[in-house]
Structure 1
Amino acid sequence: MEIPVFTVDAFTNLPFKGNPAAVCLLDNELQDELYQNIAAEMNVSETAFLTKLKSTDTFSSGARFGLRWFTPINEIALCGHATLASAAVLFHRKENTNPVVVFETLSGELRVRQHGESLVMDFPLNKPEVQDRNKHKNLLKAVVGDLPVQDVYYCKTTKKLLVRLADTCDRSALTSLNPVAETLLKCEDSGKVKSVVVTIKGAPTSQPGYDFFSRNFAPWHGIPEDPVTGSAHTVLAAYWTGRLGKKKMLAYQCSRRGGELELELRDDGRVDIAGRAVVLLQGTLKL
């Protein structure tokens, strides 16, 4: 069996920035164990598997595909950067002729369209609920130390804990965080939290005008830090739109690699997440 595979840096226009994903193109479904073995071998935050839904389709002409995402240790229900990477392969390498491609996923249908040099993903908006910070005090201490915390929210759908630092904290406070993955796993072993998203208010009056910044720690998925996380921004967009009074926002996830996301809340209760992507490598898995 030969499987075409690509590596793509998502949410960036520069190589070696953004979030790397592997994208595998499949004619037919595989056994679950093989999906996971391939993802472990690729050893990036997510490996995406794109599958033809009709035998007559090609990756250049098809408008609808199956899409699954695996971290090195498990399958996940929603992944933004690997969806962006998958669309980049279809549009930029396979020259797909459709204006919109549709992915059938564990999170329902996800649509991606081209818009200039960006790709725009139609994603669910996942609203978080306020939390009693005392319920998570050990985990908060492990993630942000003694930095002042303004809000703690939780999204049950994505199992993400959102932590907003006080406005007295600047971007350097966020970038200096260095939580220990093993400590986070010890502080939270209930299965309710699968990642911790730390965020601060941005500086929209300074160029390029970021409305908020974030980082995302997800050792429960085998990812100590996810460099740029589309799924986290389905929660961040829902949180920040009410605080900022804006439906259009520009966000920056300030991991070491870093990446930029354009967000627009839609009238149908979903969110458009736009970004760019760079296809770095093309090869073949021979199994």
Structure 2
Amino acid sequence: MKLPIFIADAFTAKAFRGNPAAVCLLENKLDEDMHQNIAREMNLSETAFIRKLHPTDSFTQSSCFGLRWFTPASEVPLCGHATLASAAVLFHKIKNVNSTLTFVTLSGELKARKAEDGIILDLPLYPAHPQDFHEVKDLIKTAIGDTRVQDIRYSPDTRKLLVRLSDTYDRSFLENLKVSTQDLLQAETTGKVRGLILTLKGEPGGQTQAFDFYSRYFAPWVGVAEDPVTGSAHTVLSSYWSQELGKKDMRAFQCSRRGGELEISLRPDGRVDIRGVLRLL
């Protein structure tokens, strides 16, 4: 069996930056366990599988497809960067004729539309609620030690824990922070938390480009130690920082070793547009 598989670096215009995703086009139905086997073989944070919804559909002509995402360890309900990569493969490699694509996923219908510079994803927006520190103190202590914390929120929809570091820290502190992801698995075994977001308020522009907020994301519970650039985490971050900053339009930078930029715009319908560029390999 031969399957066309593409690799794209999402949320970056530079080679070997951003978040790499594998995209697999399925002409026919795939045995269920093969999805996980292929994702494990790709060994990227996510592998996306695009499938036709009807036998008469065409990857070049149709505008609606099924989409699933797998880490090397498990299927996940939402993945932003692999959705961006999927749209880019259809638009730029397969030459799909439509300007907007709809993906039917575990998180409902997601849309991706061509933009003058990049692709815009229409994603859900998930609120994060105040979280009692004592319930998660062991996890936070394990993750960041004595680092000062300004706020803690929890998103029940995504099972992501958002930890905002003190405003006294800067971007370089977050970038250099050492997090032992293996220890996180021992610190949180209840299943409540499936992803840990560390975030920091942005800095005004000077010699460096201005961003509204920074983040890093860890998800060893689904087989991803640290994700380079995470669209799904920004469905929570966008909601939080919009309230904190009083802004609907924001620029974000994820401070992983590879790094990546996201442009965010909260929509009147309670969803969020996330624009990203990418580089197809």
TM-score by length of 2: 0.98
Q: CA deviation at 1:2?
A: 1.3
Work out which structure has the larger RCO, using CA pairs closer than 8 Å and 6 or more positions apart in sequence: 1
Structure 1: runs of 5 or more not aligned: 281-287
Within the alignment, does 1:250 sit opposite 2:214 as a pair?
Answer: no
**What secondary structure, in the 3-state scheme, does the structure 2 residue paired with 1:2 have?**
coil
1:86-97 superposed matches below 5 A = 86-97=86-97
Aligned equivalent of 1:259:
260
Over the matched positions of the two proteins, sequence identity in percent amounts to 56
Q: Tell me how far apart the structure 1 counterparts of residues 117 and 257 of structure 2 sit (CA, whole Å).
A: 24
- Which amino acid in structure 2 is aligned with residue 60 of structure 1? T
Within the alignment, does 1:214 sit opposite 2:189 as a pair?
Answer: no
1:141-182 deviation per Cα after TM superposition (whole angstroms, max 9, x unaligned):
111111110000010111100000010011122112221122
Within the alignment, does 1:79 sit opposite 2:79 as a pair?
Answer: yes
1:84-163 superposed matches below 5 A = 84-163=84-163
Aligned equivalent of 2:273:
272
1:185-233 deviation per Cα after TM superposition (whole angstroms, max 9, x unaligned):
0000011101100000001434522000000011101111000000000
Q: Tell me how far apart the structure 2 counterparts of residues 204 and 128 of structure 1 sit (CA, whole Å).
A: 25
**What secondary structure, in the 3-state scheme, does the structure 1 residue paired with 2:265 have?**
strand
Q: State the aligned residue count.
A: 280
Assess if the C-alpha contact under 8 Å between 1:143 and 1:177 holds in 2: no
- Which amino acid in structure 2 is aligned with residue 145 of structure 1? G
Q: CA deviation at 1:53?
A: 1.2
Assess if the C-alpha contact under 8 Å between 2:23 and 2:49 holds in 1: yes
Q: Tell me how far apart the structure 2 counterparts of residues 178 and 44 of structure 1 sit (CA, whole Å).
A: 21
TM-score by length of 1: 0.96
- Which amino acid in structure 2 is aligned with residue 181 of structure 1? T
Assess if the C-alpha contact under 8 Å between 2:143 and 2:181 holds in 1: no
Q: Tell me how far apart the structure 2 counterparts of residues 101 and 25 of structure 1 sit (CA, whole Å).
A: 15
- Which amino acid in structure 2 is aligned with residue 257 of structure 1? R
1:229-248 superposed matches below 5 A = 229-248=230-249
**What secondary structure, in the 3-state scheme, does the structure 2 residue paired with 1:12 have?**
coil
Q: Tell me how far apart the structure 1 counterparts of residues 166 and 24 of structure 2 sit (CA, whole Å).
A: 41
Aligned equivalent of 2:61:
61
Moved over 6 A (4+): none
Q: CA deviation at 1:128?
A: 0.6
Q: CA deviation at 1:29?
A: 2.5
Q: CA deviation at 1:49?
A: 0.1
Structure 2: runs of 5 or more not aligned: none
- Which amino acid in structure 1 is aligned with residue 53 of structure 2? L
Q: Tell me how far apart the structure 1 counterparts of residues 31 and 172 of structure 2 sit (CA, whole Å).
A: 45
Assess if the C-alpha contact under 8 Å between 1:125 and 1:237 holds in 2: yes
1:41-71 deviation per Cα after TM superposition (whole angstroms, max 9, x unaligned):
0000000000011222221111000000000
